[in-house]
Amino acid sequence: MSENDKTKEDFEPKVVGFLCNWCSYAGADLAGTSRIQYPPNIRVIRVMCSGSVDSVYVNRALIEGADAVLIGGCHPGDCHYLNGNYKARRKMVLMKNILTTLGMEPERVWLRWISASEGQKFADTVKEIVEETKKLGPNPMKERWNI
């Protein structure tokens, strides 16, 4: 096994999650009350609405070395603030383009609709992100001083 392969398989990705207060954060709470187990890799920051997630949050997380970022919002049409999730969606499409241009990996940014009743979906989402991020390997930005 080469050195590179080893890091890929062994590393534990660090995921930063921005969850909207009304749907996704409540969904994550439900995963808790239902005792659904998922990998301990995510750190959740509660925001009022997915539409309030500034691109700078995502950029900062990635530049500082987060291996993946999750933005969780209400399902289309269900936004507590009418249309914040649509704003999040538009912003993320643009952001992924910009990340690609900058040579960063847009696959590290995840946007998911998770409702307050979808505890299982939240747990599955975290599992999926961790698995996929392991395949991608650590965020190269983490070791920028070694480049």
Partner 1 sequence: MVKIGVFICHCGTNIGGVVDIDELVEFSSRLDDVVFATDYKYMCSDPGARVIKEAIEEHELTRVVVTSCSPRMHEPTFQSVIEDAGLNRFCLEMANIREHCSWVHKDKKEEATQKAKELVAMAVRKSKTLEPLKSFQKEVVHDALVIGAGIAGIQASLDLAEAGKKVYLVEREPSIGGRMAQLDKTFPTLDCSSCILTPKMMDVARHPNIELLTYSEVTEVDGSVGDFDVKVKRKPAYVDWDKCNGCGECAQVCRMKGRVEDEFNEGLGKRSAIYVPFQQAVPLKYTIDPNKCLMLLSGRCGESPPCQDVCELGAIDYEQEEEMMELNVGSIIVATGYDMMDPNGMYEYGYDHSPDIITNLEFERLISSSGPTSGEIRRISDGEEVKSVSFILCVGSRDQDLQEYCCRIGCMSALKHAYLLRDHLGDEVDLNICYTDIRSFGKGYEEFYRRIRDGNTTLIRGRPSEINVEKDGSINFNVFDTMTQKLLQVNSDLVVLVPALVPRKDSGELSQILRISEGTDGFFLESHPKLKPADTATDGVFIAGCCQGPKDIPDAVAQASGAASKAMGIISREELESDPMIAWVDEDICVGCGVCIDVCPYSARELNEVTGIAEVDEILCTGCGGCIAACPSNACIHKNMTKQQILRMIDEVI
The answer to whether 98 contacts partner 1 (rule: CB under 8 A) is no
Residue 10 is a binding residue for partner 1 (CB under 8 A): no
Contact criterion met (CB below 8 Å) for 129 and 70: yes
Between 5 and 82, CB nearer to partner 1: 82
What does 23-62 look like in DSSP terms, one character per residue?
A: THHHHHHHHHHTT----TTEEEEEES-GGG--HHHHHHHH
Tokens of 11: 């590393």
| Residue 109 interacting with partner 1 (CB under 8 A) | no
Strand order in the sheet with 109-113: 42-47, 15-20, 68-73, 109-113
Look up tokens 């954060």; give the residue. Answer: 25
Select the span of 3-11, 37-45, 92-100, 106-114 touching partner 1 (CB under 8 A): 37-45
The nearer residue to partner 1, 52 or 107, going by C-beta atoms, is 52
For partner 1, the binding residues (CB under 8 A) are 14, 16, 21-23, 25-26, 28-29, 31-33, 35-38, 40, 43-49, 51-57, 60-61, 64-66, 74, 77-84, 87, 91, 115-118, 123
